[in-house]
Copies of this chain bind each other. A is one copy, B any other.
């Protein structure tokens, strides 16, 4: 069978091979647009779907692994507990590429503790927070990322400061911290591609409007607010390892960072100079974005030097889950030997 190279990727798969079941989310939900970009990113990177493993918690956002990559295994876990399951699973099989999709309630309310410990361990996974400031699936209560003063129909006004998951990630030493907006599909896709190429936890905080419960213009999680206040730090493009770099910036107009698999993330300068490898700068930009109420997007912080959990634990490269009995069960003589001490 001749393969039409126009509609297949490097490994001969069509985009359809990355599809999931039809979505059951609301029409226009930001989460659907992110699912599309996950599909596009994996397709364009030519990752075999069988080599990907998907995770989520519980929520509208957490349903989405059903709606992308049917051919990838996945675990739709418990509310707020994706982190633990993903930790165990990726440790048990370090050969698969992991992507987790969670909500702001799932990650920043009930799941905050696990999320932070996950970051602290640098578990290699693309961790997407589909951030809409609200609990979609339970019909519109505030999550912990809701803005102070935000009003929801059912609940009234939120009196508490929002939790900034990117700031949290900075504190916990995360080496890939990015923010994006579901209304900017190109940026979402390129950042996901970069995240897939990063070895370690890659956090993507994606503002993903809930059209049903939190899309009023004054909400910082709405489409209109996002469109008006989004300020990309850079124009991002991932150049996979094996492709030649086509873009070349004039001095001062862009920079790039190299990811673990050799791909290059090109960062074209927009309004200002920004060095995502400067930690204090990243901390500052997040503080600023918060106080100035702008939606700063793009790659906020990048530090590829930290070892992933599996290396910290000196694990074999072979998936633990794939070790044969001969590797798993020591021989009988060893048991006799150690029992000598017990006699």
Give me the interface of A with B, judged by CB distance under 8 Å: 109-114, 116-117, 120-121, 144, 159-161, 163-164, 167-168, 171-173, 279-280, 283-284, 287, 307, 312
Contact = CB atoms under 8 A, between A and B. Distances in A.
Given A113-B113, A116-B112, A171-B168, A121 B287 contact: no
The 3 residue pairs across chains A and B that have the minimum distance between CB atoms: A113-B113, A112-B113, A159-B312
A117 B112 CA distance: 9
Contact of A171 (B160, B164, B280): B164
Contacts of A112: 112-113, 116-117
A111 B116 CA distance: 11
A167 B144 CA distance: 18
Contact of A172 (B110, B161, B173): B161
Given A113-B116, A161-B172, A163-B172, 18 more contacts: A110-B113, A112-B113, A112-B116, A112-B117, A113-B113, A117-B144, A120-B144, A120-B160, A121-B160, A159-B307, A159-B312, A160-B312, A161-B173, A167-B171, A171-B171, A279-B287, A280-B284, A280-B287
Nearest to A173: B161
Contacts of A287: 279-280, 283
A264 B37 CA distance: 56
Nearest to A148: B173
Nearest to A171: B167
A41 to B, nearest CB: 29
A80 to B, nearest CB: 9
Nearest to A161: B173
Contacts of A164: 171
Contacts of A284: 280
Contact of A120 (B161, B167, B173): B161
A171 B109 CA distance: 15
A251 to B, nearest CB: 31
A168 B114 CA distance: 15
